[in-house]
Amino acid sequence: MLTGLAIRNIVLIEALDLTFERGLTVLTGETGAGKSILLDALGLALGMRADSGLVRAGTDQASVTASFEPAAAGSALAALLAENEIDQEPGGPLLIRRTLKADGGSRAFLNDQPCSAALLRDVGALLVEIHGQHDERGLLNPRGHMDLLDAFGGLDTGAVRAAHAAWQDAGTRLAAARDALENAAKERDYLAHAVDELTKFAPEPGEEEALAAERATMQKGARLTEDLAALDAALGGSEGALSKLRQAARRLDRIAPEHELLASALAAFDRAVIEAAEAEDQLARASEALSVDPARLDAIETRLFDLRALARKHQVAADDLAALAEQMSAQLARIDAGEAGLLDLEGELASTRAAYEAAAQALSDARRAAAARLDKAMADELAPLKLDAARFRTDVEPLPEGQWRASGKDRVEYMISTNPGAPFAPLTKIASGGELSRFILALKVALAAQGSAGTMIFDEIDRGVGGAVAGAIGERLARLAGGAQVVVVTHSPQVAARGAEHLLIAKSSQGTITRTGVHPLDEAERREEIARMLSGAAITDEARAQADRLLEGV
């Protein structure tokens, strides 16, 4: 809700500070007093185009500050402020400030934090609706008609949105599966060849290290063969060292009893024979271990070369070849099973589409029922507003399949026919200025202010009407003000009499300086102003009496 408006140096307004209350506030004044300036100033604060012509002559800069009640927690406004990192003091007002220089430059602020004019417009759209004869936003914008109808009918679109999300998800997954299958199928021949090659080769983790170690051992044995043969010849055989040691030991054994030193020498020889025999055995075993089978060495080297070549070909470590073979085999299996998987996904897509269509059709039926109720409510409102020849219709038309969306498969637009037999068309196409304003009011009342901002402003909605029609307009504005803040610029005494607060806009001159001011009226002043509106410049007792009757009748 708008709580305050401070204007500095806007056209004829030098300095003006206004406060606003809930309910219906009426602004009156003679033609040319500056009522439009007030709305232009508020529009500037709400992000409308900055026109340097608004800056008061003789000044360098103009400014407008509008204060609003704080954004409610969880509201769209609170989310917008948080998204743009605009701090909001708990319980404090929301302040919008716009400055405009005479050279055309402007700056915008939200809670004293700089912001763009675009953000100001987005915030302003959530705070205030300004309805005038040339306004093409709000209720006149077909993009919002569906949401307003849903709110009017109390329709829950959650089931349709959930069904649409499930349908779109199934379609996305099916498309991804088809792409994956198509891409995989292109590689099938390569995969089949690679799997066959790896399967036949049968690589094993750790095989490279084992082959390399065995090859190194055999290569070492080849280098030691000559030395081992020489050692075997020196130690073994009938002429070898071990044979000679045994011969010497046997001869010594015959003479050892002759002297104790000979016995000691025999013991040493026995030990030498044992050690030499053990050495001969170790040499034999080493020769066996280091023996080289040329065919085996060639096979090892071939296997190792092929193993490393496969690893380089597939750009993996040799130890990962076995896992790669399993991975490729699984990929081939998925390709082979892909068609069956696609059938499952196609079935899921069909079922989710059917669920969406059923939910969307139920919503469409509910919308048509709500549209019929809205059309009837509008018919009840049009006649008192001197629009009894006009007809209102809510079109709920099916969209082509390609345009189905989370909100359903309907297009909703409000249409009117202003004369009997005339074709229906959008509001902005055929309604005149005065008719358009009254259609807006009727629609606002019929919708019970669904989707309204906290503050609604109507600019001369009663132009060109009077008497009972003006009274009907005033009654409906007051009804709207029961659930929101309504501000109306009016020339009609019947509308002015409905106001809970009455502001008089007046122009005064002092020498060559002209100023516009706004004055809150008390009960007596209000009676005089309504009497002026009834009779003109010369206020008569009869006009005062009529003003009293209007004020007493509300």
- Whether 449 shows a pLDDT value over 60: the answer reads no
Does any domain span residue 38?
no
The pLDDT of residue 221 = 65
Does any domain span residue 297?
yes
435 versus 542: the higher-pLDDT residue is: 542
What pLDDT, in 10s, does the model give residues 155-182? Answer: 999 999 999 999 999 999 999 888 877 7
Percent of the chain with pLDDT over 70: 91
- Number of domains forming the structure of the chain: 1
Looking at 290-320, list the stretches that DSSP marks H as alpha helix, in order from N- to C-terminal side.
294-314
Measured distance CA(3)–CA(22) in Å, rounded: 9
Mean pLDDT for the stretch of residues 413-427: 85
The pLDDT of residue 172 = 93
What pLDDT, in 10s, does the model give residues 289-345? Answer: 666 667 877 888 888 898 899 989 989 999 999 999 898 888 888 777 777 778 888
Residue 62 — pLDDT band, cuts 50, 70, 90?
very high
Mean pLDDT of the chain: 84
The pLDDT of residue 136 = 45
The pLDDT of residue 119 = 92
Describe the strand order of the beta sheet including 425-426 as a list of residue ranges.
Answer: 391-398, 410-417, 425-426
Nearest to 165 by CA among 22, 34, 352, 31: 352
Does any domain span residue 227?
yes
The pLDDT of residue 252 = 79
- Whether 93 shows a pLDDT value over 70: the answer reads yes
Measured distance CA(303)–CA(209) in Å, rounded: 12
The pLDDT of residue 292 = 63
- Whether 12 shows a pLDDT value over 80: the answer reads yes
User: Which range among 62-66, 225-229, 266-270 shows the weakest confidence by mean pLDDT?
Assistant: 225-229
Does any domain span residue 30?
no
127, 2 Cβ separation under 8 angstroms: yes
The pLDDT of residue 291 = 65
Mean pLDDT for the stretch of residues 89-116: 90
The pLDDT of residue 2 = 93
Mean pLDDT for the stretch of residues 194-199: 89
- Whether 133 shows a pLDDT value over 60: the answer reads no
Residue 511 — pLDDT band, cuts 50, 70, 90?
confident
Mean pLDDT for the stretch of residues 79-87: 89
Residue 67 — pLDDT band, cuts 50, 70, 90?
very high
Does any domain span residue 169?
no
Residues 6+ apart with CB under 8 A from 181: 335, 338, 339, 341, 342
Q: Tokens at residue 265, please?
A: 């020498």
521 versus 229: the higher-pLDDT residue is: 521
If one counts every other C-beta atom within 10 angstroms of the C-beta of residue 96, the result is 27
- Whether 218 shows a pLDDT value over 70: the answer reads yes
User: Which range among 67-76, 119-128, 248-257, 403-412 shows the weakest confidence by mean pLDDT?
Assistant: 248-257
The pLDDT of residue 238 = 65
- For 231, the domain range is 189-332
Mean pLDDT for the stretch of residues 382-402: 89
Measured distance CA(303)–CA(325) in Å, rounded: 17
Q: 0.75 cut: is pTM over it?
A: no
Q: Tokens at residue 186, please?
A: 């292109």
**Block residue for tokens 């297009």:** 411
Quickly list DSSP for 78-93: HHHHHHTT----TTPP
Does any domain span residue 126?
no
Which sign does the torsion angle of CA 542, 546, 548, 549 carry?
Answer: positive
* Biggest CA-to-CA distance, the chain: 174
Mean pLDDT for the stretch of residues 231-260: 75
Does any domain span residue 215?
yes
Mean pLDDT for the stretch of residues 107-117: 92
Which sign does the torsion angle of CA 272, 277, 280, 286 carry?
Answer: negative
Does any domain span residue 532?
no
Mean pLDDT for the stretch of residues 356-368: 96
User: Which range among 36-45, 225-234, 316-325 shows the weakest confidence by mean pLDDT?
Assistant: 225-234
- Whether 532 shows a pLDDT value over 60: the answer reads yes
Q: What is the DSSP letter of 69?
A: P
The pLDDT of residue 375 = 93
What pLDDT, in 10s, does the model give residues 281-291? Answer: 777 777 666 66
- Whether 525 shows a pLDDT value over 50: the answer reads yes
Measured distance CA(7)–CA(280) in Å, rounded: 117
